[in-house]
Amino acid sequence: MHIAQSQTSIHWSAVRLSFQIAFASCSDNGTKSRCLSCPTASRDKPSSRFDSRGLSVEPCLGDMGRKHCVWRKSGFQTTHHSTDLMHTLVGDSSAMKRTYEFFERVGPCDSTVLIYGESGTGKELAARSLHRKSRRCSKPFVAINCAAIPEGLLESELFGHERGAFTGAVGQKKGRLESANGGVVFLDEVGELAPALQVKLLRVLQEREFERVGGIVPIPLNVRLIAATNKNLEREVKARAFREDLYYRLNVVSLRMPALRERREDVATLASYFVEKFAALDRTALKEISPRALECLT
């Protein structure tokens, strides 16, 4: 027996669907491959264009899968609205049903929520679902990735700045928090916040006000805060890498997003969803996955 890993990319205008499938297969007399992971999606440059050659999943399944995996063309149809296609959690497993029940129960209240989960488990999608279920659903949803913005810029990005606050600050600028007033702020990778910013965020949660960088006038803030992390924040607190008081302010209600390996029964549903999603986005004929290919995936 040997382990093979393959990756193929499907290019659409402005979208790339990357299948990353690792599988184990026996030699010539083997009968079945074992799928270890599933498709992921990411953005690509608009110049990339998808065609039927790029849509083939044959390279992912190797010689054995190539004999049985067939994509069948059918008429274009979709059961999802475009907004749903972009911001939908998919799956009917028991783990996902518990997650949906959490949205129904916690969404309407205004409590701060801390979402745990590995990368790719859908933490931002969960935050958006809570926003849609909340009384703030008609107000802004503002997402900020604390790990993606350099530390020196993150304070200004979050809180805004006054004119002359620093070199290059030629005018007043509202921060993301102020822009979200009345709505929901989603802080992704909150465990990456520097200590100084942890202090400022703690004050926002305690006092519901803040000052812009270089400012002295308190600005009242009315937002619901949802934070997410792929770190064990309790361990970070013990290691003195994350403030304990901030941790308890964030962890009013917590949600753990299940990894795909904990809900393998959703793999087939997800695969069909991604095919339908990108067929709709590219306005091309909807394609189906053969039963044999689904067997290999699951």
DSSP per-residue letters across 102-131: HHHHHTTS---EEEE--TTS-HHHHHHHHH
Which residue type, as a one-letter code, is found at position 229? T
How many of the other CB atoms lie within 10 Å of CB of 283?
8
- How far apart CA 71 and CA 61 sit, in angstroms, is 13
Going by C-alpha positions, the residue among 150, 210, 207 that lies closest to residue 175 is 210
Model pLDDT, residue 298: 72
Rounded-to-integer distance, Cα 60 and Cα 255, Å: 33
Fill in the DSSP letter of residue 133: H
Per the CB < 8 A criterion, the answer to whether 178 and 157 are in contact is no
Residue 239 token pair: 């290691």
Residue 87 pLDDT: 58
Q: Per the structure block, which two tokens stand in for 117? A: 């989960």
Which pTM value belongs to this model?
0.68
List every span in the chain annotated with CATH 3.40.50.300. 94-260
Question: Tens digit of pLDDT per residue, the chain (298 long)?
Answer: 444 444 433 333 333 333 333 333 333 344 443 433 344 444 444 444 444 444 444 333 333 333 333 333 332 232 333 334 345 799 999 999 999 999 999 999 999 999 999 999 999 999 999 999 999 999 999 999 999 999 888 988 999 888 877 877 778 888 899 999 999 999 999 999 999 999 999 999 999 998 888 888 899 999 999 999 999 999 999 999 999 999 999 999 999 999 999 999 998 888 888 888 888 888 888 777 888 888 887 7
CATH class of 94-260: alpha beta
At residue 242's C-alpha, the angle toward residues 236 and 245, to 5°, is 120
Which structure tokens are listed for 286? 């909807």
User: Per this entry, what is the length of the chain?
Assistant: 298
C-alpha 146 chain-centroid distance: 14
Q: How far apart are the first and last CA of the chain?
A: 19
Closest alpha carbon to 80 in 90, 71, 72: 90
| CB-CB contact of 266 with 96 (8 Å) | yes
Residue closest to 191 by CA, chosen among 135, 235, 127, 131: 235
Residue 10's φ and ψ, nearest 5 degrees, are -110, 125
Report the number of secondary-structure helices (H) and strands (E) in the chain: 12, 15
Tokens representing residue 291 in the block:
């039963």
DSSP string of 36-65, one letter each residue = ----EEE---TT----HHHH--HHHHHHHH
DSSP string, 181-214: TTSEEEEETGGG--HHHHHHHHHHHHHSEE--BT
pLDDT of residue 67: 31
Sign of CA pseudo-dihedral 232, 253, 142, 48 = positive
